[in-house]
Structure 1
């Protein structure tokens, strides 16, 4: 029997990091790495930036231009754009990424162009889904791949608010549009079957659906200020449960599975006596038990982070508010 857990962050101390920190800077016109996808632990990785490009990083050679999501994109018009609400629909904006090492395919959730896939040659990604059940995607966001079935799980943050709404939060502050988000519960968790090319809606009525991560027994789906687990198999298949909820956590974002089977969450918290949220990374297991909360204030100040992902022994951090990928190593 599965119990529903409600675990509060203030029960655990927020600790400062003792690991070393370095920055992998993007090319001069690159800004706002939202998510990361690794080909193999500690090796080459991909990230999407604000002007619509997907970049590939190799430790020995640095970043190269790998792919893009919009057939309308031009270098002259788009390169260097920083989440521009006018240029975005023309240039594209890659968000969630996941790499299939068997097929050597990179799956991309683009905020404007839906679900896409790029092969090892890169360039223009192929659009494979733009909606589900007759409802077009409005703001595709988080994405993960099942390492066994290779099916894709991803989120559509809202059926009402597109990326311009998300950009308003980033520009104007964490709480500037809190009322609007509280009134919106139109997000969805979706599955793309790689064999049938069909999209299935797994969960509806989500408030600010952001990240998705596949575990051994289900999907941990990130919504608003909570994490829900959706069961894919077993006696609980097709049902969901809240495994972590905390009103003191602010604007949680992506959640990523680690090689140990637990999860890293990119989030923030408001420190006592401060009005500015502090970015944190949180480690939880599949039941929502928190084992670690690490403050990233020393490196990011009050800039929100979008993802924390372990690769090898290091934790890589991405953020839409900076021009680098942060790396914390032991």
Structure 2
């Protein structure tokens, strides 16, 4: 759930991260390359990415309610899916990020279960659902939990071994059109949910989250990481053991968004940091381990300016960057 970087933060941890990054960045800048995978005309706002294993193909949800599939540099993007049951191309195609339309839907988090080729989707207006390998209309699996409807279904991750899915509802009060109000009121009504692949039941795992916009489960399903955008922190929620149902704060980077697990069991966090000598924020990707230790920081200001990013995902040795405020997918190599 990226948004324009407008807020000023005075956090010690981000300042320290900035200092460390600048020391390392000067020696590597010459070897960095950045390219763009351009979206189709009038398409904008790629929020998240779901890669097809063994290929360079991926899906992304955009502002006008479509899920696009990138089939490679020759074919490019094709329409793959949508959640809105009465979506009209004439009304919806070309809708921009600033004016999401409920009638069109707004796909946010995506996660592919490789064994079944099921693409799980959080649509901000229509809830939690799934697409089969042929795409089409999303089958909605859940529109609420514990008698409470989803207002802002946002982030998704799937545990590959079990097929269980973890997803967030960012707020029980505000929807995607009311992000700024949720921030200004310090809304803390977000929830973390689990969809059980075998029973097809949705349960609430954790409540009182402040803008839960990112989620990632570890390989053993012992814990999930959740980013809380409104209060600028990332937490670890334990699922098993003596700490089950408890959490700990592991990162205080400003404006944390989607979290993606790497093959080496680290995590990429899309976030922001304070620009040296100013009070402005710039978009970064931060690779952390399960304890929140920062292993690497990449500054994307040269390509995104002060536009925030929503996801950094590692695939085939490259970082792929999504942002709701642009019309391309960034590809970073170093």
Query: TM-score w.r.t. structure 2 length?
Result: 0.89
Q: How far does residue 329 in structure 1 lie from its aligned partner after superposition?
A: 1.9
Report the secondary structure of 2:90's partner residue: helix
In structure 2, the gaps of 5 or more residues are: 1-10
- Distance in 2 between residues matched to 1:267 and 1:165, nearest whole Å: 20
Q: What does the per-residue CA deviation read over 1:138-174, in whole Å, with 9 as the maximum and x for residues that have no partner?
A: 00111100011111101100111110123x58xxxxx
Give the conservation status (yes or no) of the 8 Å contact 2:97–2:324. Answer: no
1:179 and 2:192 are equivalent in the alignment: no
User: What residue ranges of structure 1 are gaps of 5+ in the alignment?
Assistant: 1-5, 170-176
RMSD, matched Cα: 1.8
Q: 2: distance between equivalents of 1:228 and 1:41? A: 31
State whether structure 2 residue 260 is matched by structure 1 residue 256: yes
Residue equivalent to 2:174? 161
Contact 2:64 2:92 in 1 (8 A): yes
Q: CA deviation at 1:93?
A: 0.1
Give the C-alpha shift of residue 41 in structure 1. Answer: 5.2
Alignment equivalent of 1:103, drawn from 116, 121, 127: 116
Q: Does the 8 Å CA contact 1:50/1:83 hold for their aligned counterparts?
A: yes
Aligned counterparts, 1:167-316, within 5 A: 168=180, 178-180=183-185, 182=186, 184-216=187-219, 217-224=222-229, 225-244=232-251, 246=252, 249-316=253-320
Counterparts in 2 of 1:310 and 1:41: CA distance versus 1, 3 Å: farther
Query: Over residues 52-74 of structure 1, what are the superposed CA-to-partner deviations in whole Å (9 max), with x where a residue is unaligned?
Result: 00000022421110001100101
Separation in structure 2 between the aligned mates of residue 23 and residue 253 of structure 1, nearest angstrom? 21
Q: What is the aligned partner in structure 2 of residue 37 from structure 1?
A: 50
| 8 Å contact kept, 1:140–1:157 | yes
Q: Aligned partners of 1:220, 1:7: CA distance in 2, in Å?
A: 22
User: So what's the TM-score if we normalise by structure 1?
Assistant: 0.90
Q: Tell whether the 8 Å contact from 2:234 to 2:256 is kept in structure 1 after alignment.
A: no
Seen in structure 2, the aligned counterparts of structure 1 residues 178 and 112 have a Cα distance that, compared at 3 Å, is closer
Moved more, 10-19 or 154-163: 10-19
Q: Report the Cα offset of residue 178 of structure 1.
A: 4.3
Shift of 1:234: 2.6
Aligned-pair CA distance for 1:275: 4.0
Instruction: Please give the per-residue CA displacement for 1:112-137, whole angstroms capped at 9, x wherever unaligned.
Output: 01001010111111000000000000
Residue 80 of structure 2 is aligned to residue 66 of structure 1 = yes
Paired with 2:32 and 2:98, the residues of 1 have a C-alpha distance of: 35
- 8 Å contact kept, 1:7–1:288: no
1:10 and 1:51 mapped to 2: Cα distance? 37
**In the alignment, is the contact (CA less than 8 A) between 2:15 and 2:274 conserved in 1?**
no
Q: CA separation in 1, counterparts of 2:50 and 2:285?
A: 18
TM-aligned CA deviation for residue 187 of structure 1:
0.5
Quote how far apart the aligned CAs of 1:233 are. Answer: 2.2
